[in-house]
Amino acid sequence: MRIGILASGRGSNMEALIEACRDGRIPAQVAVVLSDRAAAGALETARRLGVEAHHLNPRDHGSREAFDRALVAVLQRHGVELVCLAGYMKLVSREFIGPFQGRILNIHPSLLPAFPGLDAQRQALEYGCKVAGCTVHIVELEMDSGPIVMQAAVPVRDGDTEQTLVARILEEEHRIYVESVRRFVAGELRVVGRRVVRVADPPRP
């Protein structure tokens, strides 16, 4: 299976996915990395790891829909069957979701449905949560919604700062994103209503 990754920032989740594909933990190949930000560290990291990576500038396209159509065209040209959002900061439109219905995953640094949106870890800390975590979910139109593939919880400790909590959650992000993509690629996942369930006897990839 060919995977496309969209990233706007440093790209540590992207890197975890590329590494897992390279060493065979995920039986798939990252075909292309795309970013809406020219300065995204993810682009450089992807190229260093031998993955084709491109910046697409939203300003070159008249609307969000037009930009999304351009992204879809590049992904389709690379034969992408699964799209992973990894710190991708733009909202995706219907134009993007349509062609990849049920085949777009996202990682979010909270236990959804708590704390969607920006600065989720800070929101959890400020709320006084004792437990925080991260979620991998299938992307739907509404931000940070969609059936949940995996979640991992971490404790919030008394001495935590935003930085220490972010780091604790990030470690779990890398782990559950890799495992979620592995399950998807292996054909182990089925969506039943809002629930993502694992099938007992998946077809061979």
Least CB distance from residue 98 to ligand GRF, whole Å? 22
* Cis amide leading into 113 (omega within 30): yes
37 binding ligand GRF? (CB under 6 A): no
Stretch of 9-17, 56-64, 74-82, 188-196 lying at the interface with ligand GRF (CB under 6 A): 9-17
Least CB distance from residue 106 to ligand GRF, whole Å? 7
Active site residue 55: no
Nearer CB in complex with ligand GRF: 28/170: 170
149 binding ligand GRF? (CB under 6 A): no
Q: b/e for 131-142, b at 16 or more Cβ within 10 A?
A: ebbbbbbbbbee
Q: Cα(106)–Cα(148) distance, rounded to whole angstroms?
A: 10
- Please give the order of strands across the beta sheet that includes 148-155: 53-55, 29-35, 2-6, 82-85, 104-108, 131-138, 148-155, 195-198, 189-192
The two three-digit tokens of residue 143, written as one number: 């931000």
Among 1, 13, 172, 189, binds ligand GRF (CB under 6 A): 13
Among 21, 31, 97, 109, binds ligand GRF (CB under 6 A): 109
Tell me, rounded to whole angstroms, the distance of Cα 6 from its chain centroid: 8
Q: How far is CA 31 from CA 88, 115, 135, 155, in A?
A: 17, 32, 24, 36
Region 161-180 residues binding ligand GRF, contact defined as CB under 6 A:
170, 173
Question: Residues binding ligand GRF: what is the number (CB under 6 A)?
Answer: 14
Stretch of 24-32, 54-62, 105-113, 125-133 lying at the interface with ligand GRF (CB under 6 A): 105-113
11 binding ligand GRF? (CB under 6 A): yes
51 binding ligand GRF? (CB under 6 A): no
133 binding ligand GRF? (CB under 6 A): no
Helix count and strand count (H, E) for the chain: 6, 9
Q: Mind telling me the catalytic residues?
A: 108
